[in-house]
Amino acid sequence: MDDPPPTNVIHLERIRPANRALRALVGESALMQSLRADIERFAPSTAPVVIEGESGTGKELVARALHAESLRRARPFVAANVAAIEPTLLGSELFGHVQGAFTGAHRTHRGLFEQADGGTLFLDEIAEASAAAQASLLRVLETGELRPVGGEGMKRVSVRLIVASRENLSERVAQKRFRSDLLYRLRVLVLRTPALRARPEDIPELADAFFAAHHEELGPRTLRADAEALLRAARWPGNVRQLQNVLRRAAVQSDLALLGAAEIAPVLAAEDLGSVRVGSPSAALLRAVLVACGGRIATAARKLGVARSTLRAQLKRAGVVVAHASLGSPSARSGSTGHGGSPSASCTEEDGVS
């Protein structure tokens, strides 16, 4: 009989879709399966795509997957964040300029559209484009031609345009901050990247993928079930990007290969992710939150999103003994047991509230 595999081996076939072009989009939730199916369906088209979603949800990864699955995959994929480009230079960055077009234009510059000719151009934060840039984008979409800044002739390009925004573009149109005709041209196909709080069941796979990608930096790491439960309960306003930051910080601060709730809870508390949603928390999870909150029941209750009376009831049901030992003591750190073998934690009230 073959020996069982080492417990710290990451099985990549479990965290990667069979299609290699989509492997960066980790998760087997219904939302992620639907997103990958839409990408495969939209990829062969040359129509523009609008990707909507909160910051940190992987909009550029979706754009790259669309390109990789398209007939343009052998041609360039060019990406830029509109919000990061000086507004006065946006026209030059997008459409290029000729030598001497303006002060500092010491040589002719090929813009992003020319660089992406034959391939795909991804523009993130398109809502931040200036009125002049919006007008020029509309012309390129309608005619396939552009004029470099300071140039006299038109240049023809073949580019599939993919744009993304964390802002609601329809609301921007209503506020007269985005051209309605440009939105109609862009919004032929629409994809939405789901927020992490809408797919918490994907967090274990996302963690596996992150630790596998950063194995050289962090060494072999994985999560215990109580740590996964704590991560799934957080609200994640920063989405996957914030989850990765939490995982890296927890791994750097601990020498353990197997990270539990005790290692994750202090990092979550420092992130101030708001209250977490836990239905029937385990004793280990409750104790980890209490430790992270300095033993303060009121703070822990807010973190868990429950009333203090509810937390006390949960502590009683989980068999967590409320002791008065120091949380920093060796016995508390090691998870020593109180009466009947239950894990103990030092808990206090705040502000004189009973």
**Helices H, strands E: what count in the chain?**
17, 11
Please determine, for residue 328, whether its predicted confidence score (pLDDT) is greater than 70. Answer: no
Percentage above 90 pLDDT, the chain: 55
Judge whether 2 lies within some domain.
Answer: no
Please determine, for residue 340, whether its predicted confidence score (pLDDT) is greater than 50. Answer: no
Buried b (16+ CB within 10 A) or exposed e, 34-51: ebbebbeebbeeeebbbb
Judge whether 9 lies within some domain.
Answer: no
Last residue of a domain, one of 174, 193, 212: 193
Q: Are residues 86 and 158 in the same domain?
A: yes
- What's the pTM value of the predicted model, to 2 decimals? 0.75
The label of the residue with tokens 């985005």 reads 178
Last residue of a domain, one of 139, 167, 193: 193
The pLDDT of residue 198: 96
**Average pLDDT value for residue range 171-194:** 96
Judge whether 284 lies within some domain.
Answer: yes
Please determine, for residue 192, whether its predicted confidence score (pLDDT) is greater than 90. Answer: yes
Q: Are residues 89 and 184 in the same domain?
A: yes
Q: What is the domain extent for residue 324?
A: 198-346
Please determine, for residue 29, whether its predicted confidence score (pLDDT) is greater than 60. Answer: yes
Judge whether 354 lies within some domain.
Answer: no
The pLDDT of residue 77: 96
**Average pLDDT value for residue range 82-107:** 80
Q: Helix/strand/coil (H, E, C) string of the chain?
A: CCCCCCCCCCCHHHHCCCCHHHCCCCCCCHHHHHHHHHHHHHCCCCCCEEEECCCCCCHHHHHHHHHHCCCCCCCCEEEEEHHHCCHHHHHHHHHCECCCCCCCCCCCECCHHHHCCCCEEEEECHHHCCHHHHHHHHHHHHHCEECCECCCCCEECCCEEEEEECCCHHHHHHCCCCCHHHHHHHCCEEEECCCHHHCHHHHHHHHHHHHHHCHHHHCCCEECHHHHHHHHHCCCCCHHHHHHHHHHHHHHHCCCCEECHHHHHHHHHHHCCCCCCCCCCCHHHHHHHHHHCCCEHHHHHHHHCCCHHHHHHHHHHHCCEEECCCCCCHHHHCCCECHHHCEEEECECCCCCC
Q: Are residues 71 and 167 in the same domain?
A: yes
- Among 104-118, 143-157, 312-326, which is the least confidently predicted range? 312-326
Judge whether 351 lies within some domain.
Answer: no
Q: Are residues 278 and 322 in the same domain?
A: yes
Mean pLDDT, the chain, as a whole number? 82
Q: What is the pLDDT of residues 223-275, one digit of tens each?
A: 999 899 889 988 899 999 999 999 999 999 999 999 998 889 888 877 765 55
Total structural domains within the chain: 2
Q: Are residues 278 and 300 in the same domain?
A: yes
Tell me the CATH number at 331.
1.10.8.60
Last residue of a domain, one of 193, 224, 251: 193
Tell me the CATH number at 153.
3.40.50.300
Judge whether 172 lies within some domain.
Answer: yes
Judge whether 19 lies within some domain.
Answer: no
Local confidence band at 297 (pLDDT 50, 70, 90 cut-offs): confident
Q: Are residues 85 and 226 in the same domain?
A: no
Judge whether 310 lies within some domain.
Answer: yes
**Average pLDDT value for residue range 158-186:** 95
Q: Are residues 278 and 140 in the same domain?
A: no
Q: What is the pLDDT of residues 137-164, one digit of tens each?
A: 999 999 999 888 766 778 899 999 999 9
Q: Are residues 99 and 210 in the same domain?
A: no
Check residues 300 and 178 and name the one with the higher pLDDT.
178
Q: Are residues 148 and 98 in the same domain?
A: yes
Q: Are residues 42 and 170 in the same domain?
A: yes
Local confidence band at 291 (pLDDT 50, 70, 90 cut-offs): confident
Structural contact between residues 31 and 37, judged by C-beta atoms closer than 8 angstroms: no
Residues 246-252: contacts with CB under 8 Å, at least 24 apart? 246/271, 247/207, 247/210, 247/211, 248/210, 248/214, 248/218, 251/211, 251/214, 251/218, 251/219, 251/221, 252/218
Q: Are residues 333 and 239 in the same domain?
A: yes
Q: Are residues 216 and 171 in the same domain?
A: no
